[in-house]
Chain A
Amino acid sequence: MAFLQVEEIEKRFGRTEVLKGVDFTLEKGEVLAIIGSSGSGKTTLLRCLNFLETPDRGRIVLNGDVLFDASERKKASESDIRRKRLHFGLVFQQFNLFPQYSVRKNITLAVELLNKKLPAQERKSREDIAALGSELLKRVGLGEKMDSYPCELSGGQQQRVAIARALALGPDVLCFDEPTSALDPELTGEVLRVIRELKSSDRTMIVVTHEMEFARGVADKVIFMADGVIEEQGTPQEVFGSPRSEKAKAFLANILK
């Protein structure tokens, strides 16, 4: 059984069907790149995985655990959802850092809050949490920016902080929604490099992106979405090299031009 199974996810907003049965699996440590034109439902899919939207149909199974099942009658409680969404992390297109906190605090805030809820003997010390913050910041190449505020950083630096923040909770699956789309072209490289370096055997990642070079170079698997369905999926060689669907061919021809 695959590590992550996303089964027949459907989502509509009012009368617009945005996801019309999205189905894929991912193995642990794999990187999935999702490509597709604007409005095809990529963001909505990531939001469903992160419980920011509730799918109308379908199931999400992680590591054998059913995290979401639309056919279940009982609505999951707030705290249930909170626990489940910790399996996933999300890096937003617009970073969404907390402006009033220093970079370090941005990264450790959620850890501190969760830590408080643990029984006393399992709690991490303040120093451990601070050390985790420093380590993550070094990992994204911002060790010296610990005490800066988000408004003092460039877009690329802010996005790297956002990545460190998402990593702090140790999610099983880390999702990125067009992490470089809000950046000036000269800043995309540093962010993509960080994401590339995160690739490891136990970190599963889903990256929605328009950076085809990146998708081709880093992804183990590529999904092309159009109008709320997966039009094409496979290895980068398959999807980029010999796409079968007409829509995928047209999209790639257009974007690689």
Chain B
Amino acid sequence: MSFVDVTLQLLQGFEVTLKLFALTLVFALPLGLVIAFGSMSRWRPLRYLIRTFVWVIRGVPLMLQLFLVFYVPGMVFDAHIFAPTSEGRFTAAVVAFVINYACYFSEIYRGGIEGIPRGQYEAGQVLGMTKREIFFKVVLMQVVKRIIPPMSNEVITLVKDTALARVISVIEIIKVAEQLMSKAIIWPLFYAGLFYLVFVGALTLLFGFIERKLDYYRG
């Protein structure tokens, strides 16, 4: 099998990887914020429920969660929510990743929001701002600045975690490389690593850029 053939096959797998990555971010970033608010709710039952949920999701391997999302609905309801087709498998993977990463993101948001000094809220209140205005005009930018470094870590972890989707037979790049391995060629696996490396490099540059953009002030 030629280098070009392998490259083309890996690229197909990497497209799936990137889709999974992008969809996870698109849904998990906002969902994480909702979960973060839930975990800070003043209503105790909700707060405890959400925090327990986050604890479970963060405490159990993502691999198990993939199996759970893909297989268990079928076992319980006697019908597949996620059809055993490549689309169904991919959708199940997106769902599992979104839930998992939303929980991780929620903790980052919570840390960022709780780290804003009370005085910032009070200054807004005394100036007659509404709660919404205080959140969006005063707090949010400061939270963003605080969470960029941990977020960048988490997002880079996500790039590599997408490889786990192969356990429910999503044909992402590592799965492709494994299939090639079964034909007794091993180098594509390491070649696949290069794809990740380049992509993570690009993300690192992007986050560095954002951090510098927000570097115009301290505090």
Q: Which residues of A contact B (CB under 8 A)?
A: 50-52, 78-79, 82-83, 85-86, 88-90, 92, 94, 96-100, 109-110, 113-114, 149-151, 165-166, 169
Contacts and interface: CB of A to CB of B under 8 A. Distances in A.
Interface string B89-121: 000000000000000000000000000010110
Contacts of B130: 78-79, 82
B219 A85 contact: no
Interface of A is mostly: mixed
Among B120, B128, B138, the most chain A Cβ lie within 10 Å of the Cβ of B128
A94 B126 contact: no
A99 to B, nearest CB: 4
Given A113-B133, A169-B127, A96 B122 contact: yes
A52 B138 contact: no
Interface in B179-219: 216-219
Contact of A98 (B120, B125, B145, B216): B120
Contacts of A110: 124, 127-129
Contact of A169 (B117, B120, B128, B217): B128
Given A92-B119, A92-B122, A94-B119, A99 B127 contact: no
Given A85-B126, A100-B141, A110-B128, 4 more contacts: A50-B126, A82-B128, A99-B218, A151-B217
A149 B126 CA distance: 21
A165 B126 CA distance: 11
B123 interface: yes
B133 A85 contact: no
A165 B119 CA distance: 15
Given A52-B125, A150-B217, A96 B133 contact: no
Interface of B: 117, 119-120, 122-131, 133, 137-138, 141-142, 145, 216-219
B186 to A, nearest CB: 51
A99 B117 CA distance: 12
Contacts of A52: 122, 125-126
Q: Which 7 A-B pairs give the minimum distances between C-beta atoms?
A: A110-B127, A99-B219, A96-B119, A96-B123, A151-B218, A100-B141, A90-B126
Contacts of A50: 126
Nearest to B140: A100
Contact of A165 (B127, B131, B145): B127
Given A92-B119, A96-B120, A86 B218 contact: no
B128 A109 contact: no
A183 to B, nearest CB: 16
Nearest to B131: A78
A109 B131 CA distance: 15
A94 B125 CA distance: 15
6 contacts: A82-B128, A98-B120, A98-B123, A114-B128, A169-B127, A169-B128
Contacts of B141: 100
Among A88, A89, A96, the most chain B Cβ lie within 10 Å of the Cβ of A96
Contacts of B133: 113
A110 B138 CA distance: 10
Contact of A99 (B126, B129, B137, B217): B217
Contact of B137 (A86, A92, A113): A113
B115 to A, nearest CB: 13
B217 A92 contact: no
B217 A86 contact: no
Nearest to B141: A100
A151 B119 CA distance: 16
Contacts of A88: 126
B142 to A, nearest CB: 6
B167 to A, nearest CB: 43
A181 to B, nearest CB: 14
Nearest to B123: A96
Contacts of A169: 127-128
B130 to A, nearest CB: 7
A94 to B, nearest CB: 6
Given A82-B130, A98-B123, A169-B128, A149 B216 contact: yes
